Amino acid sequence: MTTPMEATSRNSAGPVWPALLLFQGVWAGCIAAGAGAAPPFVVFAALAASVLFAVHVLPLQALPIAVALVLTGWVNDLFLARIGLFRFTAGSFETTLWLAAIWFSFVVTAPAVYRWLTCRPALAFGVGAVGGTLSYSMASLWGAIAIPSPFAFYAALPLVWGVRMLCVLWFMTCIEHIVTRTGHPTLQRPRRPHPFPKGATPCER
């Protein structure tokens, strides 16, 4: 039996590959800038591309939620650096810019890239725990961050990123509700009935 979310995934016009390529490009450019291997304008270009993507793809009603998630993740990373879980190698101003650009790109591309995790919280937690930790490990290899205590880092960060992915999952559920009400043209093919009956939640079968 097909679930509503599976039907939505097949009927969705969400730009999965453009979103994935955008985030990977933003991540690489910002990490390189954070490590001093790329000029600062790369960060501004990455942020501009993410803003254009968000305006084109996300429903207007979802943008305040996206901004709240970006600010939460950004402040949380600064806090983790403050307590010594990792350390940024660039100056505070440069770090603020590239970290914000990565977070904004991650949040606005997540609904397309991670759509398949909707209604799968345990899997989402695992993907966040592994993928998030690996991305910070790669940032360390590139020289954008330093890890003073690998034991503390690998003990704590998977839990942090597992919870973060659950927050992203909630964000995607909010977007599904918005699409249900508005029939957003970018996230839903026109002329096809939406699989959710009025008032239904995305995870209802």
Taking only the tens place, the pLDDT of each residue in 81-140 is 999 999 999 888 889 899 999 999 999 999 999 989 988 999 999 999 999 999 999 999
pLDDT at residue 181 above 90? no
pLDDT of residue 91: 84
pLDDT of residue 109: 94
Taking only the tens place, the pLDDT of each residue in 27-69 is 999 999 999 999 989 999 999 999 999 988 888 888 899 999 9
pLDDT of residue 58: 87
SS (H, E, C) the chain: CCCHHHHHHHHCCCCHHHHHHHHHHHHHHHHHHHCCCCCCHHHHHHHHHHHHHHHHHCCHHHHHHHHHHHHHHHHHHHHHHHCCCCEECCCHHHHHHHHHHHHHHHHHHHHHHCHHHCCCHHHHHHHHHHHHHHHHHHHHHHCCEECCCHHHHHHHHHHHHHHHHHHHHHHHHHHHHHHHHHCCCCCCCCCCCCCCCCCCCCCCC
pTM: 0.83
